[in-house]
Amino acid sequence: MFFRNSINYSLILINSFFILLLYTAYLMGWANRVFESDSSYISYVIAVIFLVLWVFSLFIGSWVNKQLNDLILNEGSQIYDDYSALLKKRFELPKNQNFDHSILASTLQVKLNLKIKIISYVANLLILLGLIGTVIGFIIAVGGLGDSLVGGQNLARVQTVLGQIVNGMGVALFTTLMGSIFGGIWLQLHYEILSSAIDRLVVLVIEKTESELIPSIIKNK
């Protein structure tokens, strides 16, 4: 059942690719360098938020996948059953033989999209956190440059200032990198896959009600 729908294939493919990249970065020591170079700890915040939403998006993907499979196999999809119940109630009203259920269909789409809207929001939030880290990093670096102008020619002082500048640039670059990869690419791809799957689910629900449920209701009126 798990592999019966393309949602899971897409999620497995994308996550396998990024996990392989992360593992490669870990083996080469890049992952440790990112966190060690970030004195602002924004990289840690980005990583934790991403992990929570990543697990959540996988859960939603599994749920949407089950709804699609149940609907395709006529095994009683929860979404279809709930939508059918609402549609039957509307048809129970007088003179509703030509009832246009486009409003209910639009409501269903909005309701399902609300489940994944937070993924897109957090993806954008991670990008913004990366940009904030960039600003903080440049502030640290510029502070080091300012110190170098008043620090004289003392060698130890110059080395300290250079270390501060390098630290600031590390914060700026690594937080931007993490925000872009985790938010702008990884989570955003999850959102696009789930959004397409929800569109497909809504289409299948509407097609099934148009071809099976509504004719049956009209016939029995």
**3-state secondary structure labels for all residues of 165-185:** HHHHHHHHHHHHHHHHHHHHH
Q: What's the pLDDT score for residue 1? A: 41
- For 80, 155, 163, the CA distances from 159, given in Å and listed in that order, are 67, 6, 6
Q: What's the pLDDT score for residue 15? A: 94
* Contact (Cβ atoms closer than 8 angstroms) between residue 183 and residue 122: yes
* Contact (Cβ atoms closer than 8 angstroms) between residue 137 and residue 42: no
Q: What's the pLDDT score for residue 2? A: 40
Q: What's the pLDDT score for residue 119? A: 95
| Residue ranges covered by each domain of the chain | 6-91+99-220
Helices within 28-101 (DSSP H only) = 30-36, 42-72, 78-91
Give the span between the Cα atoms of 132 and 49, in whole angstroms: 15
- Dig out the tokens for 133 from the structure: 């880290």
Q: pLDDT (tens digit, 9 = 90+) per residue, 51-90? A: 999 999 999 999 998 888 888 887 777 888 888 887 777 7
The pTM of the full predicted model, rounded to 2 decimals, is 0.82
Q: What is the mean pLDDT of each run of 10 residues along the chain (221 residues)?
A: 62 92 87 79 92 94 88 80 79 58 81 92 94 84 61 57 67 86 94 92 85 68 60
Give the span between the Cα atoms of 37 and 171, in whole angstroms: 6
